[in-house]
Every structure is written in structure tokens, then in C-alpha cells.
Amino acid sequence: MRVVIAGGHGKIALLTSGLLSGRGDEVVSLVRDPAHFPDVRAAGASPVLCDLERASVDEVAEALRGADAALFAAGAGAGSGVARKDTVDRAASVLFATAAEAAGVARFVQISAIGLDRVTGDEVFDAYLAAKRAAEEDLRSRPLAWTILRPGRLTDEPGTGRVELSEGPVSGAVPRADVAAVLVALLDRPGTAGHVYELVSGPTPVAEAF
């Protein structure tokens, strides 16, 4: 399987790349900074320089051409302001999905977040939630075999391989390593297309969670 990841230098993306490449899949990671190339290569992926805040649809489609699946794992990250929540968490997702359509890549998995209907009073965090919500709405409208994964609060603790995966609301935390394991499982399961899953730590082995 050839998978193209947007936001390939993110922690979840690097973990997912390692799992995929470790079993023999081909991973291409789009990153905006050449300084990130060594980390991406160390995870077993091939880096491609592509700034999703500036790239054209044609440029991104070229990177996607021939892929079996697209994974949107980009995010503005901590310390970014309201404007970048929109340009990365929403607009980059829209660009990546548009490019996937143009490249003929039907399978599309998107990392989102739980609790998107919340209003916290924190201007930046509420902008993040609104951007993720808009990205989901855009993706749902497209003729792609999309799946949306909404992890809970992310931690860097070791993965347990056990989760709670639900199509209803859940709350809690989840290690990034377990998010990566679930993403690989989603990519392996085309029957999950058209579903939105919420994910936190739980009692069920990932292989049995679907």
C-alpha cells in the first residue's frame, strides 16, 4: 500500500509512518521544512517538500498520484494563533482532499478531534475546534471513501494497544502511539469509509475494536 501523509513530521504521523513502513508499505510524507527530512526518513517515509499553506492543488495532486490512500495528519500545533488554525486545520485539509480527488485517490483518512461542538471561551482553542469542524463538513460532502478519526486528549505515554472506539461521544485521553495503531487499522479496513469514530484509551485490543 502506498500512503501519502499530510503533516508528515507530526508525532502521530511519524509513529504511523513507522508502523506502515515497518510492515513493508510505502509512505510519502509532505513536510514544509527540509530540516524535518531526517526525522521523516528515520521513520521509514520518503519526505516531499510541500507547504500546504502555499501549495497549489496541482502540486499536491502530483505528490498524491498513484497512492492507495491519503492521510491528513497536519495541524497548526501549539503556540499558533487563530489565523493558522484556519489555514492549516481547515484550509490545508480542504486542499489535500481536493488534490486527492484530482489525483484519483479515493481512500482518505482524516485526524480530527473530539468535542467539536464545544465553546470554551478560549479564542484560539475555539478557532481550532471551528476549523476542525469545517474540515469535517467539507470532507463529508466529497465523493471520497473518507473516514474521520476523533482522538481524545493526546499523550506521549507508551501505547497499550487497547482502546475505546465509538461512533458516539466518548471522553478521555489516548496515547499517540495507539492513535497511530488505529490509523493503520482504518487504512486496512475500507469498510470503515463513511464513518466517524471517537477514540480514547479503553479495554479493547485495536484489532477487535471495529
- By annotation, the residues acting in catalysis are 128
**Residue 61 one-letter amino acid:** A
Distance of alpha carbon 15 from alpha carbon 57, whole angstroms = 27
Q: What strand order describes the sheet that includes 69-72?
A: 46-49, 26-31, 2-6, 69-72, 107-111, 145-151, 196-201, 162-166, 204-205
H or E stretch covering 82:
helix 82-84
C-alpha cell at 190: 475500507
Q: Contact 67/108 with Cβ under 8 angstroms?
A: no
